[in-house]
Amino acid sequence: MNRLRNPSNGQENQNCEQAIPIGDGKVQAAMFDAQPARARVFTFGLGSFKIAALLDAVDVRDNLVSALAPGQSPIAMQELAASNFIDRDRYEHCFIPTLVDTGSEKVLFDTGFGDTGSSLLGCLQDLGLGPNDIDVVIITHGHPDHIGGLVKNGEPVFGRARYVFGAAEFTFWTEASTVREARLENRDLFRRICTGLASQATFIAPGCEVLPGITAIDAAGHSPGLLAFLVESDGHNCSSGRTPSCTMPCPSSIQSGTPILMMTKSKPSRPACAS
Ligand SMILES: [Zn+2]
C-alpha cells in the first residue's frame, strides 16, 4: 500500500534534504520541515453543527476506470479524468474519518487505520483536540481502516468516549460463521479490538437516532451491516458540491448508492434505539 503520498509527485511526505541551485551554479542543501503536501482537515458548518473531514491516509491505486466506473467506456473515463486533472489510470483511495461537533458532543465517525501512517490524531490536533475530547465514536462498519484507530497498545485511544456499533455488523464479525476466507484476518482484528469495547457500546439498527440530528441508515452491501448516517441541524443541509469530499470515509462503501454521511432537511422515521 502506498500510504500518504504527495499526489502531485508521488513522493512520500517526510523530512527530506533537497538540492537547490544557487546563482553561481553551486548546489546548496536545504532541509525542509515535514509538512503535509495538502490540507488534511476540511471543515464547514451545518446549521449549528461543525463538521470536519479528517484525512487519515491515502492509498494510491491503479486501474481507475475498473475500480470507480465499471462498465463505462475506458476512453471516455480517461478523457474525463484528464479534463479534471486526474491521472488517467491511477487514483487515490482516501480514508476520511469525519468529526461532527454538535455543540454539546463531539462525535467521531470511524477511527482510521491507527498505524504509524495514520494521521487521524494529527488531524484532531490540528483542530486543537485530543482523543479525550471525543464523546462518541460511531463505527460505520468493521473493516480495518475504520476500527484500527480504536485501540493502541491494548488500550482504548478515545478514553472518554462511548461507542456506537451497528448491531448486525458487530454480530457478523463476532459470531457469524460466514466470514469468507479473505476476511478472516479482518475478523480476528475486529474481535481483538472491538470485543473489549462492548460494555461501553450501544448497538443500533438502521433508523435509529443516535443523537439528536444523527440518524442511522441501512447501507448494507460493502459489509453486511454497513450503516450510513443522516446528519441534520437547524433545517440546514449541505450542497452537493461539498458532499463527496466530506461524506465518504470509504468510497468503495457506496455499493448500495447511499453515502456514509448524508445531509438533508428530510426527516426519516425514527424507531427507538436498542442498546
Ligand atoms: Zn470498508
Shared-domain flag, residues 90 and 120: no
Neighbour order of strands in the sheet with 261-263 = 209-211, 214-218, 227-231, 261-263
Ligand 1 center to residue 148 CA distance, Å? Answer: 12
**Domain CATH code at residue 257:** 3.60.15.10
Note the pLDDT of residue 180. 93
Whether 275 is in a domain gets the answer no
Give the Å distance between the CA of 194 and the centre of ligand 1: 16
Predicted pLDDT at 266? 40
Reduced to 3 states, what is the DSSP secondary structure of residue 252? Answer: helix
Expressed in angstroms and rounded, the spacing between residue 95 Cα and the centre of ligand 1 is 10
Query: Is position 35 within any domain?
Result: no
Neighbour-count burial for 189-202, b at 16+ CB within 10 Å, e otherwise = bbeebbeebeeebb
Give the Å distance between the CA of 19 and the centre of ligand 1.
41
By residue range, what is the domain housing residue 73? Answer: 59-94
The pLDDT value recorded for residue 6 is 34
Q: Are residues 83 and 210 in the same domain?
A: no
- Do 106 and 239 lie in one domain? The reply is yes
CA distances from 185 to 115, 144, 169, 173, 190 (A): 16, 10, 16, 11, 9
Does residue 252 form part of some domain? yes
Same domain, 159 and 67: no
Give the Å distance between the CA of 86 and the centre of ligand 1: 23
Ligand 1 mean position, distance from CA 190 (Å) = 13
Q: Residue 45 Cα, ligand 1 centroid: separation in angstroms? A: 26
User: In the prediction, which pLDDT does 35 show?
Assistant: 58
Distance 189 CA to ligand 1 centre (A): 14
Tell me the three state secondary structure of residue 210. Answer: strand
Q: Same domain, yes or no, for 185 and 234?
A: yes
Question: What is the model's pLDDT at position 265?
Answer: 36
In a domain, 29, yes or no: no
- What is the 146 CA–ligand 1 centroid distance (Å)? 7
Establish if 73 belongs to a structural domain.
yes
For the chain, what is the domain count?
2
Residue 182 lies in a domain: yes
**Whole-structure pTM value:** 0.76
What's the CA gap between 137 and 140, in Å, rounded?
10
Q: How far is the CA of 273 from the centre of ligand 1 (A)?
A: 24
pLDDT along the chain (275 residues), means of 10: 40 38 45 66 94 93 87 90 89 91 96 95 97 98 96 96 97 92 96 96 96 92 92 69 33 36 43 51
C-alpha of residue 220 to centroid of ligand 1, in Å? 11
Q: Is residue 10 part of a domain?
A: no
Residues 168 and 214 placed together within one structural domain of the fold: yes
Residues 73 and 173 in one domain: no
